[in-house]
Structure 1
Amino acid sequence: MKASGFIKNFTAFSAFSIVLISLLSFKTNEKSIVVSKDGKGNFTTVQQAIDAVENGSSSRTKIFVKTGVYKEKIIIPETKGAILLEGENPENTIITYDDFASKKNAEGKDIGTTNSATIFIYSDNFTAKNISFENSSGRVGQAVAVLTSGDRIAFENCRFLGNQDTLYLKGVQDSPDKTKPSRNYFKNCYIEGTTDYIFGAGTAVFENCTIFSKETASYVTAASTPQENEFGLVFIHSKITGNAKENSVYLGRPWRPFAKTVYLDCEIGSVIKPEGWHNWNKPDAEKTAFYAEFNSKGAGAHTSKRVSWSHQLTKEERKKYTADNILKGKDNWNIKKSLK
């Protein structure tokens, strides 16, 4: 073949390849970034990858995190576009840090619970898969592993490791914009802790999850659901277990009035107290909190011994407690699409 003919054919092939790649990119509508500690990816830290995500992008950026322990404090600003943060597997892909509420800042003041988080998720449309999020500070009081404040946030096959205040579903309780939703979905996840280790104002569904109360555990949840929100923390087909002393842990207590927490078709382990719920020494909270169960089973499912101000849902009441109905919102959020 003559050189000119080769060049002509090569040029045509290259043009076709570019068009094909463009079409495939358009079809997947997803950019990719690789994080690897050995320097063989695009970045060596997760925060560097987050910083590289385009602000306000309509397409999702996939950040693939290779096996390793990444000790870093991560902030995902609300300006970022959609992100899929995916690890190789949750046992060996770990994001960890060791801040805690009583740790002193440069001015000698406590940094506080909120600032103790390992990862802050302020953006909307964030999804994580196959990763462990850890606060490794130990039993030193409040020490958050994950804080969520955005909307349409989903986790699948992730682990949340810590002690007190492990998972903070902060929502918008301290924001001027009280109308902004903060919806969270957890599928096949593992969450551990001691006191109030799932807490906050956000609406969240935990489906097929393992909720593990560690040795010194006292309360699983501490919701602060806004009064106008129909749903707070909802556990569906999950396992409530742990290695705490038998009959030593409450299912929840109300951080603020109108707290809402519901367990549906869950296996309740022997660590849970027969009375189930605590009023946080606030009798008035008994009038506003909504604590309920449906079809609990297991050694800790002493439904007849629960506190009088809690509820056992009827089959008809149970019908509205599906993940899709709880989280769909005005924009009909498609959870399955977020987890793809």
Structure 2
Amino acid sequence: MPGISVLCSILLIAVYPILISCSKSSETSDETTPIEGEDKTIKANAVVAADGTGDFTSLQDAINAAPNNRTEYYYIYIKKGTYKEVITVPKNKDYIYVVGENEATTVLTYDNYASRRKPDGSEYGTSGSASFFVYGNNFVAENITFENTAGMTAGQALAINIGGARSSFRNCRFLGHQDTWYAGNGTYQYLKDCFIEGSVDFIFGGSTAYFDNCQLKSTRNGYITAASTPENQAYGYVFQHCKVTAYPTVAESSVYLGRPWRPNAKVIFIECAMDEHIQQPGWHNWGNPDNEKTAFYAEYKSTGIGASIDTRVSWSRQLTDEQAASFSYDKVIGGKHPDFKSDEVNITIE
């Protein structure tokens, strides 16, 4: 029946593209529409509460309870409170993720200092004076205060000592005076929206660290950084979009951006706002002119009274646009630190 055959062919030609189009539209919708009821929460593996309403009253006990040699995150939620204990994340405790209830009221603190005597009669020393030690890899902290309360006259007294290969901190506070924040050679840290205060060399060590939108607040005259970047390490400290401030008691032009703890120190400030407490020369050679030959101290578009570009020491640098681009997040630290959980994902404790 030729007539019917021709009619079928015409219908097929007309209808088939519509069917294909509908099919493709349906497939696209399935790919882009979120699944209803999709879980956007992570249940904490452990809850720490000073008032006894959690699984532990001590963060150290919660860390000790985490399984060794993990390859996925172990989430510890810390309720607000002051926890006075020396805390260590050991080498075999990788993938520890601690989240505080509030960065101002969830406080991890202790008061050791370098010259203080241990029970065996020996001194703690600078590196041993920390309130918090990180040796595990892929450590992450959010909404936490790390504090050392030894006081301004105690000398070296670390709030944190970071020896783990890679770590990240978001919305955290680091409080102390001399040598507040330390991280060892060959390690990587990313700090986002953090607050660090201190007086002398209060950010120091040989790590690669990227400080993104942080506040650096001086408690008295002194030096902000004391980098000891290894000679063959590409980057040291990069401060991007940071605020460099001081308490009202700190005198004008009394704080240096940095001095080299070792030769080859590398420190760069990119588009940072600097208050009047910053010394007009900007940088110090730690009393050794040879350090001027190896230190890489640079700024890019500093602003504020403390910027004073025309008065900086001759051996520091003002970067061009092209040079500054080589110190971007992607080039310095991207892919070299653990990721934060998404802002859309909440930690639950029930």
Q: How many Å separate the matches in 2 of 1:32 and 1:280?
A: 47
Counterpart position of 2:22: none
> What SS class does the counterpart of residue 297 from structure 1 fall into?
coil
The equivalences for 1:1-340 within 5 A come to 32-139=45-152, 140-171=154-185, 181-214=186-219, 216-243=220-247, 244-328=250-334, 332-333=335-336, 337-340=339-342
Question: Displacement of 1:39 after TM fit?
Answer: 1.6
Q: How many Å separate the matches in 2 of 1:224 and 1:87?
A: 31
TM-score normalised over the length of structure 2: 0.83
Q: How many Å separate the matches in 2 of 1:224 and 1:333?
A: 20
Sort the Cα spacing of 1:81 and 1:96 in 2 relative to 1 into closer, same or farther, 3 A: same
8 Å contact 1:31–1:59 — kept in the other structure? no
Please list every run of 5 or more consecutive structure 2 residues that lacks an aligned counterpart in the other structure: 1-37, 343-350
* 1:200-223 Cα shifts (integer Å, max 9, x gaps): 011101110010001x23100000
Percent of aligned pairs with the same residue?
46
Question: Displacement of 1:30 after TM fit?
Answer: 7.5
Q: How many Å separate the matches in 2 of 1:217 and 1:191?
A: 15
Question: Displacement of 1:151 after TM fit?
Answer: 2.0
8 Å contact 1:73–1:97 — kept in the other structure? yes
Q: How many Å separate the matches in 2 of 1:334 and 1:241?
A: 27
Question: Displacement of 1:307 after TM fit?
Answer: 0.4
Q: How many Å separate the matches in 1 of 2:232 and 2:254?
A: 32
Q: How many Å separate the matches in 1 of 2:48 and 2:221?
A: 35
> What SS class does the counterpart of residue 194 from structure 1 fall into?
strand
Sort the Cα spacing of 1:184 and 1:30 in 2 relative to 1 into closer, same or farther, 3 A: farther
8 Å contact 2:75–2:97 — kept in the other structure? yes
> What SS class does the counterpart of residue 245 from structure 2 fall into?
strand
> What SS class does the counterpart of residue 217 from structure 1 fall into?
strand
8 Å contact 1:193–1:217 — kept in the other structure? no
| Letter paired with 1:321 | F
Q: How many Å separate the matches in 2 of 1:338 and 1:149?
A: 19
Sort the Cα spacing of 1:115 and 1:334 in 2 relative to 1 into closer, same or farther, 3 A: closer
> What SS class does the counterpart of residue 125 from structure 2 fall into?
coil
Q: How many Å separate the matches in 2 of 1:93 and 1:260?
A: 33
8 Å contact 2:283–2:313 — kept in the other structure? yes
Question: Displacement of 1:334 after TM fit?
Answer: 6.0
Question: Displacement of 1:324 after TM fit?
Answer: 2.4
Q: How many Å separate the matches in 2 of 1:246 and 1:281?
A: 22
* 1:36-63 Cα shifts (integer Å, max 9, x gaps): 1122211110000111111111110110
Point out which structure has higher relative CO (alpha carbons under 8 A, 6+ apart).
Answer: 2
8 Å contact 1:54–1:81 — kept in the other structure? no
Question: Displacement of 1:262 after TM fit?
Answer: 0.5
8 Å contact 2:190–2:337 — kept in the other structure? no
TM-score normalised over the length of structure 1: 0.86
Higher-Rg member (1/2)? 2
Q: How many Å separate the matches in 2 of 1:144 and 1:46?
A: 18
Q: Which is further off, 272-281 or 72-81?
A: 72-81
Counterpart position of 1:20: none
Give the aligned length: 302
Counterpart position of 2:34: none
> What SS class does the counterpart of residue 218 from structure 1 fall into?
strand
8 Å contact 2:182–2:203 — kept in the other structure? yes
Question: Displacement of 1:79 after TM fit?
Answer: 1.1
Question: Displacement of 1:99 after TM fit?
Answer: 0.1
* 1:177-196 Cα shifts (integer Å, max 9, x gaps): xxxx3100111111000000
Question: Displacement of 1:150 after TM fit?
Answer: 1.1
Counterpart position of 1:21: none
| Letter paired with 2:183 | L
Question: Displacement of 1:29 after TM fit?
Answer: 8.6
Q: How many Å separate the matches in 2 of 1:313 and 1:276?
A: 15
8 Å contact 1:165–1:193 — kept in the other structure? yes
* 1:230-250 Cα shifts (integer Å, max 9, x gaps): 110110000001021100000
| Letter paired with 2:174 | F
Q: CA RMSD in A?
A: 1.7
Q: How many Å separate the matches in 2 of 1:28 and 1:38?
A: 25
